[in-house]
Structure formats: structure tokens, C-alpha cells
Amino acid sequence: MSGAQGFNTKLAAALERLKQVLGDKVKGVTVDKKIIKVDVASEAIVEAAAVLKEMGFDHVKGVTGVDLIALKQSENAIELIYHAGAYLDDELAPYVVNLATKLPRDRPVSPSLVKIWPSAEYHERETYEMLGVVFEGHPKLKRLLLPEWWSDIPPLRKDYRPPGRE
């Protein structure tokens, strides 16, 4: 894990625990100062979230979805990122762990993490609405921002074209 030097022991222990539990389902760890990105296989997202919660990351600050189709590598995926933080642990509070996975763009389905992190509820709804990611097991997966009559593709998809702007 590059850049792990300088971490406090709790953060290092959390990252090590993730690697122990998930093994090769951890696809990579990237460190940029106090932001740590952990890429995991899509089937391991719930288990990874549970480990992070157990290790002290008690809430989600946000959920981000990124349509990767426009990248030069032309990756046909949507990257799903949970930004986890720690309110209750002063040692972990300065850090954000971005728990990320990639979903197939033509069927972006992922288990909801609301049971692990209740603060993910509205963020998952927004990601569902704006990028079309379906969160299985979400308690109230319905529109949050767009009008109920919306029938076009999700507006943050790279192939969305606003009417009248072609």
C-alpha cells in the first residue's frame, strides 16, 4: 500500500483489516494526503463497508457516481464511490476513505449500503436518479430531484443530450 507511511495506527489497521478480510477483492489502494481510495470488486462492496464501519468509519459523507464511458480508455462502466468518514473517532476524523467499485454501464446494480450507513439513503437516491444506478434493498428508491414525469436517460450519463442544445 503506497503512501501508508504517516498514517495513524487506527487507519493503518482498518486498511490492513480490509485486505485480510477481502483478499484479492481489494483491487487497489490509493493515498492522497488524507483521502484514501479503496477499489473493491463489486461483489465485495457490502463486506468492505461493514469492515470500515466496524473499524470506526461511522457515516457516509456522500455517494458519487462517475460515467467512465468518455474516458480515453473507453471503459464501459459506472464507478460508484462512497465517501466514508468518522465522527466518533478523533484519530480517524481527519481522513476520508473513498470506497469505490465499478459497475457495468448497461446494468449498474449494487446492493444498498443504507443498513450499514443510514446517511447513504439520500445520496444513493440521487445517484440512482442522476446516473441510473439501482440500489437493491434501498428502503425508498425513488426520484429525489427530477420531476416524476422524467422519461429520458439519467442526466449525468455522458450520452445524455439536453433538448434544444444539440
CATH number of the domain that residue 38 is part of: 3.30.460.80
pLDDT, tens digit, for every residue of 101-140?
A: 999 999 999 999 999 999 999 999 999 999 999 999 999 9
Residue 48 belongs to what domain range? 9-107
Q: How many domains does the chain have?
A: 1
C-alpha cell of 116? Answer: 450499514
Task: Identify the CA nearest to 94 among candidates 51, 36, 37, 52.
Answer: 36
Neighbours of 164 (CB within 10 A): 5
- Residue whose cell numbers read 489502494: 29
| pLDDT exceeds cutoff 90 at 4 | no
Contacts of 146 (CB under 8 A, 6+ apart): 129, 155
Is the full-model pTM beyond 0.85? Answer: yes
Domain assignment of residue 33, yes or no: yes
Domain assignment of residue 36, yes or no: yes
Alpha helices in 23-120, H assignment, sequence order: 45-54
Q: For residues 10 and 92, is the Cβ–Cβ distance under 8 A?
A: yes
Domain assignment of residue 146, yes or no: no
Confidence grade of residue 161 (pLDDT, cut at 50, 70, 90): confident
Q: For residues 91 and 8, is the Cβ–Cβ distance under 8 A?
A: yes
pLDDT, tens digit, for every residue of 138-160?
A: 999 999 899 989 889 999 999 88
pLDDT recorded at residue 8:
83
Mean pLDDT on 8-33: 94
Domain assignment of residue 115, yes or no: no
Domain assignment of residue 22, yes or no: yes
Domain assignment of residue 102, yes or no: yes
pLDDT, tens digit, for every residue of 79-96?
A: 999 999 999 999 999 999
pLDDT, tens digit, for every residue of 38-60?
A: 999 999 999 999 999 999 999 99
Confidence grade of residue 2 (pLDDT, cut at 50, 70, 90): very low
Element of type H or E holding 109: strand 109-111
Domain assignment of residue 143, yes or no: no
Backbone angles phi, psi at 54, to 5 degrees: -60, -35
Domain assignment of residue 103, yes or no: yes
